[in-house]
Amino acid sequence: MPMSHVTAPLRVVIVGGGLSGASLAWHLAQMQVPVVVTVIEPRAELGRGLAYSTTEPTHRINVPAHRMSLDPDHHDDFADWLREAAASGRLPPDDQADAGRGDLFPRREVFGQYVADRLAPHLQAGAVRHLRARVQDIQRNEDGSLLLHLSDDGLVRADLLVLATGHPPPAVPKVLAGLSGQGPLVADPYDPAQLARVPKDARVLIMGAALTSADVIATLDRQGFQGQITCISRHGLRSRGHGEVIRESEVDFTDPPLQGASDLLRRVRHAIVDDLAQGQGWQATIQRVRDQGGAIWTALDSAARRRLLRHLRTYWDVHRFRIAPQVEAVLDRLIGAGRLRYLAGHLTSAMPQADGSVQVAWRLRGTRQIQRQPFDRVIVTTGPAHDRCIDGNPALSALARLGLIAPDPLGLGLDTTLRGWARDPKGRDSDRVLIAGPLARGQVGELVGAPECSVHSLHLAQEIALHATFGPTAPSIEHARAVGQD
Ligand SMILES: Cc1cc2nc3c(=O)[nH]c(=O)nc-3n(C[C@H](O)[C@H](O)[C@H](O)COP(=O)(O)OP(=O)(O)OC[C@H]3O[C@@H](n4cnc5c(N)ncnc54)[C@H](O)[C@@H]3O)c2cc1C
């Protein structure tokens, strides 16, 4: 008679419990994958991360609630949860959440509450364990497993390690280096204390014109700010609003197969013209590009990807990452009152002055013209420094020292396979380390918004399930489906 072996379940450790780490833990628990799941995250609640831990009331989700579900098979899960939570009195009243078109844009912290709420039963049942700590160092054991050193001196062993450390802190642009440590510089726009110190009548310069810049302006406005704001960015374009989408676009950007970046641009332009001719906003086409983003990106070679990033990224970012209608209304009001303007150009110098202000010089885009103006505050909203994600994080630095991870060639995060496994500096696939969330977007494509993060986490959960069943030689999920092992 064959001997039966009882093997210990795989220890899956997720570093980072923002939306990516929390949704992966949730999918693993929902699928009842036979693994032990530990999430290491210093914040009190899983699912909040950088985006959803804010308590600022003007910070709203920028994608309507019916698109922000944890469960890709149940699009209305968040919207349903909102209704239930409001009806049962668990949510404070928010009469501004409905922007008037039936689309709900609740406060971002409410979305964090939803994710934490969905995960709670799995935490209580012990299917997921949350350790409130930061990973400070990682070593490799002789059997190839990894030993994590935590900030509370704890040690955790991982058979599989998932990096879900998300958005690195923003970097201060070189031109502002002389202001570091000085009062007029607001280096971290996500820190409410720094924004609360901006005087109400200040002359404010914001570097960056996208979503974070819009968040900052809405926050200042809520604080009773009465001064002037100048936003400067390379193209001077601000994040667009949602407009009206009558019906979803059905254009297929993947068939026939794309011939490169210019072909994609041509097809998107044609689709927008068609949509406009039918009285439909361009938003329908951009949503379609976003929905097919993974397939589009993976169909392009690395030269085409580089071209897209170099020439089209700004345009993509301001049209795809749209602002909530409530925030758009604030920006429009301030522009209308002559208190907010957008400039296209780049800063050439920023000199601190004796009176505490900063003399800033910039060159307007497409000209040689230098303009100068004093400001009382300079706020950096140029976004997380993804190209420096390894250096700024001890967990990632330790894995890089062990030769287990490498930056992706496009500077968007970490190098991965399409199935989510980390690649080492020699391009070899790991069978220990997986990458979740925006860190993997160099390979996966559009992977920043909550809908895409949830889908990616589901794919990683399926990959882990296969690995737990078959070991490192696991077939792909497509192969497993084809042979009926799904
Ligand atoms: C300000 C902002 C607003 C957004 N708003 C929306 C929106 O309205 N709608 C939408 O669809 N998308 C939105 N997004 C995008 C999206 O939801 C995020 O990309 C998503 O939150 C990514 O989550 P994450 O878990 O990968 O990263 P993060 O949220 O950055 O979380 C990473 C977590 O890892 C932890 N961590 C890091 N290093 C360590 C370590 N060494 N040890 C332990 N823990 C560690 C951190 O504490 C953090 O909690 C927003 C993004 C941002 C930045």
Ligand 1 centre to CA of 233 (Å) is 24
Q: Which residues contact 73 (CB under 8 A, 6 or more apart)?
A: none
450 lines ligand 1 (CB under 6 A): yes
User: What's the mean per-residue pLDDT of the chain?
Assistant: 91
The tokens for 30 are 């929902």
Q: What's residue 480's pLDDT?
A: 52
166 lines ligand 1 (CB under 6 A): yes
Q: Is the dihedral of CA 27, 32, 33, 34 positive or negative?
A: positive
CA distances from residue 383 to 57, 69, 208, 320, 464 in whole angstroms, order as listed: 21, 24, 8, 16, 31
Q: What's residue 207's pLDDT?
A: 97
Cα gap 15→414, rounded to integer Å: 15
Nearest 5°: phi and psi at 131? -105, 120
Question: Which ranges in 133-223 belong to alpha helices (H)?
Answer: 192-196, 211-222
Q: What is the mean pLDDT of residues 185-199?
A: 94
Ligand 1 centre to CA of 46 (Å) is 11
Residue 314 reports pLDDT greater than 50: yes
Q: What percent of the chain has pLDDT over 90?
A: 73
- Residue 21 in contact with residue 41, Cβ under 8 Å? yes
Residue among 52, 70, 130, 167 to mutate when testing ligand 1 (max atoms within 8 A of CB): 167
Q: What is the mean pLDDT of residues 208-237?
A: 96
Ligand 1 centre to CA of 51 (Å) is 5
Cα gap 84→65, rounded to integer Å: 14
Q: What's residue 269's pLDDT?
A: 92
Q: Which CATH number fits domain 174-240+323-380: 3.90.380.10, 3.50.50.60, 3.40.50.2300, 3.40.50.11810?
A: 3.50.50.60
Residue among 50, 63, 70, 323 to mutate when testing ligand 1 (max atoms within 8 A of CB): 50
Q: What is the mean pLDDT of residues 239-252?
A: 81
Topology at the third CATH level for domain 10-169+386-482: FAD/NAD(P)-binding domain (3.50.50)
pLDDT, tens digit (0-9, with 9 covering 90-100), for 81-102: 999 999 999 998 898 898 777 7
Ligand 1 centre to CA of 50 (Å) is 4
Cα gap 308→239, rounded to integer Å: 18
Q: What's residue 374's pLDDT?
A: 97
Q: Which residues contact 288 (CB under 8 A, 6 or more apart)?
A: 248, 249, 250, 251, 253, 271
Counting atoms of ligand 1 from 1, which one is nearest the CA of 383? Answer: 53
131 lines ligand 1 (CB under 6 A): no
Please list the residue range(s) of the chain that carry CATH number 3.50.50.60: 10-169+386-482, 174-240+323-380
Counting atoms of ligand 1 from 1, which one is nearest the CA of 439? Answer: 26
70 lines ligand 1 (CB under 6 A): no
Ligand 1 centre to CA of 170 (Å) is 13
Q: What is the mean pLDDT of residues 365-373?
A: 94
Q: Which residues contact 422 (CB under 8 A, 6 or more apart)?
A: 163, 399, 404, 405, 406, 414, 415, 416, 429, 430, 433, 434, 435
Q: What is the mean pLDDT of residues 151-176?
A: 94
Band of pLDDT at residue 277, cut at 50, 70 and 90: confident
Residue among 13, 216, 448 to mutate when testing ligand 1 (max atoms within 8 A of CB): 448
pLDDT, tens digit (0-9, with 9 covering 90-100), for 435-470: 999 999 999 888 899 999 999 999 999 999 999 988
Q: What percent of the chain has pLDDT over 70?
A: 95
19 lines ligand 1 (CB under 6 A): yes
Residue 483 reports pLDDT greater than 60: no
Band of pLDDT at residue 168, cut at 50, 70 and 90: confident
39 lines ligand 1 (CB under 6 A): no
pLDDT, tens digit (0-9, with 9 covering 90-100), for 333-365: 999 999 999 999 999 999 999 999 999 999 999
Residue 476 reports pLDDT greater than 80: no
Q: What's residue 243's pLDDT?
A: 78
Q: What's residue 3's pLDDT?
A: 45
pLDDT, tens digit (0-9, with 9 covering 90-100), for 403-428: 999 999 999 999 999 999 999 999 99
Residue 184 reports pLDDT greater than 90: yes
Ligand 1 centre to CA of 48 (Å) is 7
**Nearest residue to 294 (alpha-carbon basis) of 63, 464, 462, 459:** 459
Q: What's residue 313's pLDDT?
A: 86
Q: What is the mean pLDDT of residues 181-194?
A: 90
Residue nearest to atom 49 of ligand 1 (CA): 49
DSSP classification of residue 376: S
Cα gap 108→472, rounded to integer Å: 38
95-99, 166-170, 243-247, 300-304, range with greatest mean pLDDT: 300-304
